[in-house]
């Protein structure tokens, strides 16, 4: 326990309460609390000791051998005692441990940056991923339905290599999506490139597909399309005799 205390990012105001080792996930969790007796308001700089509340925060720290390290930190909110300050309650600052709202310790953030600066580009990125394997996962957003839709419908020339990889993975993991993705992409491309001649083959292919939402959409589209064609073909319809 004493050894572990020395390895904390800041042993002065962080106190190690407990620790857990998960051998299966090769993860060590350090349960830590902040013990600064007096903190300063970030707006007016006045010291205060009046605690408002406690809350938990998880910070990834530098790994030890093959183990990823997470600090499960109990931090506090304080009242600012300065009646003229516009901030009434604030979260205590953690100095050199982490910036507010960060999910990694500063020393973890700085390590890949230093490697990147020294080696530059992909070599730095590859090496930093070898050195800090578990905790420095690429900060990709999770794949929500709206992000998946955006990914599928984005112009192919604007897709990043990562987007392409994600799309390939999506189809590989869910082969049933492949047909839907293809139909959606063909439709988007047809609209973008204004290719009305492609509409009939697309409608036919979609109405024959097993994807009921697409089928319904295609049937409605065909109905509207036919209605428009009929309207314009009728001498009394719009477009005739109006000049
Ligand atoms: Zn203040």
Residue 147 alpha carbon to ligand 1 centre in Å: 40
CA of 75 from ligand 1 middle (Å) equals: 18
pLDDT at 185: 80
In this structure, the chain runs to a length of 243
Do 126 and 185 belong to one domain? no
Same domain for 11 and 128? yes
**Domain span including residue 63:** 2-136
Is-contact 40 47, C-beta < 8 A? yes
Q: For 61, phi and psi rounded to 5 degrees?
A: -120, 175
Is there a single domain that holds both residue 152 and residue 126? no
> How many angstroms is it from 95 CA to the middle of ligand 1?
17
Q: Beta-carbon neighbour count of residue 71 at 10 Å?
A: 22
In this structure, are 129 and 160 located in the same domain?
A: no
Q: How many structural domains does the chain have?
A: 2
Q: Distance, CA 97 to ligand 1 centroid (Å)? A: 22
Could you tell me which residues are beta bridge partners of residue 74? 33, 56
Residue written as token pair 């309207």: 231
> Cα of 84 to ligand 1 centre, how many Å?
8
Q: How far is the CA of 44 from the centre of ligand 1 (A)?
A: 4
50 Cα to the center of ligand 1, angstroms: 12
Among 118, 136, 154, identify where a domain stops: 136
Same structural domain, 58 and 75 = yes
CA distance 161 to 154: 13
Asked whether residue 240 is assigned to any structural domain, the reply reads no
Which of 75, 105, 136 is the endpoint of a domain? 136
Rounded CA gap, 13 and 34, in Å?
6
For residue 212, being part of any structural domain is answered with yes
For residue 17, the CA-to-ligand 1 centroid distance in Å is 30
Q: Evaluate whether residue 31 is within a structural domain.
A: yes
Asked whether 128 and 137 are in contact (CB, 8 A), the reply is no
Task: Give 216 Cα–ligand 1 centroid separation in angstroms.
Answer: 59
Distance from Cα 152 to the centre of ligand 1, integer Å? 48
Q: For residue 238, tell me if it sits in a domain.
A: no
Give 89 Cα–ligand 1 centroid separation in angstroms: 8
Spatial contact of 77 and 92, defined as CB atoms under 8 Å apart: yes
**9, part of any domain:** yes
Are 112 and 168 found together in one domain?
Answer: no
Q: 101 CB contacts (<8 Å, ≥6 apart)?
A: none
Q: How far is the CA of 8 from the centre of ligand 1 (A)?
A: 29
Domain identity same for 175 and 227: yes
241 lies in a domain?
A: no
Tell me, yes or no, whether 124 and 166 share the same domain.
no
Question: Which residues are in the CB-under-5-Å shell of ion ligand 1?
Answer: 41, 43-44, 80, 82, 85, 87
User: Which whole-number Å values give the CA distances from 209 to 186, 204, 216, in the listed order?
Assistant: 14, 9, 11
- Based on the fold, state whether residues 206 and 119 are members of the same structural domain: no
Whether residues 121 and 32 fall in one domain: yes
In a domain, 242, yes or no: no
CA of 79 to the centre of ligand 1 (A): 8
> Residue ranges of the chain with pLDDT lower than 50?
124, 127, 130-139, 237-243
Where is the domain boundary, 136, 156, 176?
Answer: 136
- The Å distance, Cα 134 to ligand 1 centre, comes to 39
Taking the centre of ligand 1 as the mean of its atom positions, its distance from the CA of residue 83, in whole angstroms, is 8
127 and 24 share one domain: yes
Give the torsion through C-alpha atoms of 127, 129, 130, 135, to 10 deg.
150
Q: How far is the CA of 16 from the centre of ligand 1 (A)?
A: 29
β-strands 51-64, 47-48 pairing: unpaired
Residue pLDDT, tens place only, 85-106: 999 999 998 888 888 778 888 8
| pLDDT of amino acid 120 | 54
Q: Do residues 154 and 105 both lie within one domain?
A: no
pLDDT score recorded for residue 207: 85
What pLDDT is stored for residue 218 in this prediction? 80
In a domain, 195, yes or no: yes
208: alpha, beta or left, given left = phi > 0 and alpha = psi -120 to 50?
A: alpha
């Amino acid at each position: 326990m004493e050894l572990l205390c020395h390895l904390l990012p800041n042993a002065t105001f962080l106190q190690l309460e407990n620790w857990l080792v998960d051998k299966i996930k090769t993860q060590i969790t350090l349960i830590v609390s902040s013990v600064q007796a007096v903190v300063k308001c970030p707006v007016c700089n006045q010291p205060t000791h009046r605690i408002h509340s406690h809350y938990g925060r998880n910070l990834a720290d530098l790994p030890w051998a093959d183990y990823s390290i997470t600090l499960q930190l109990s931090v506090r909110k304080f009242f600012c005692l300065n009646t003229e300050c516009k901030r009434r309650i604030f979260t205590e600052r953690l100095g050199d441990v982490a910036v507010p709202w960060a999910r990694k310790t500063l020393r973890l953030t700085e390590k890949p940056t230093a490697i990147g600066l020294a080696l530059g580009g992909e070599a730095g990125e590859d090496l930093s991923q070898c050195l800090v394997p578990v905790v420095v996962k690429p900060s990709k957003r999770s794949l929500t339905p709206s992000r998946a839709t955006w990914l599928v419908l984005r112009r192919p020339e604007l897709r990043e290599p990562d987007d392409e990889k994600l799309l390939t993975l999506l189809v590989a993991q869910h082969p049933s999506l492949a047909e839907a993705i293809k139909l959606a992409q063909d439709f988007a491309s047809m609209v973008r490139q204004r290719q009305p001649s492609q509409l009939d083959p697309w409608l036919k292919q979609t109405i024959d597909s097993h994807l009921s939402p697409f089928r319904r959409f295609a049937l409605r589209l065909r109905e509207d399309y036919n209605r428009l064609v009929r309207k314009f073909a009728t001498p009394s319809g719009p477009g005739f005799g109006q000049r």
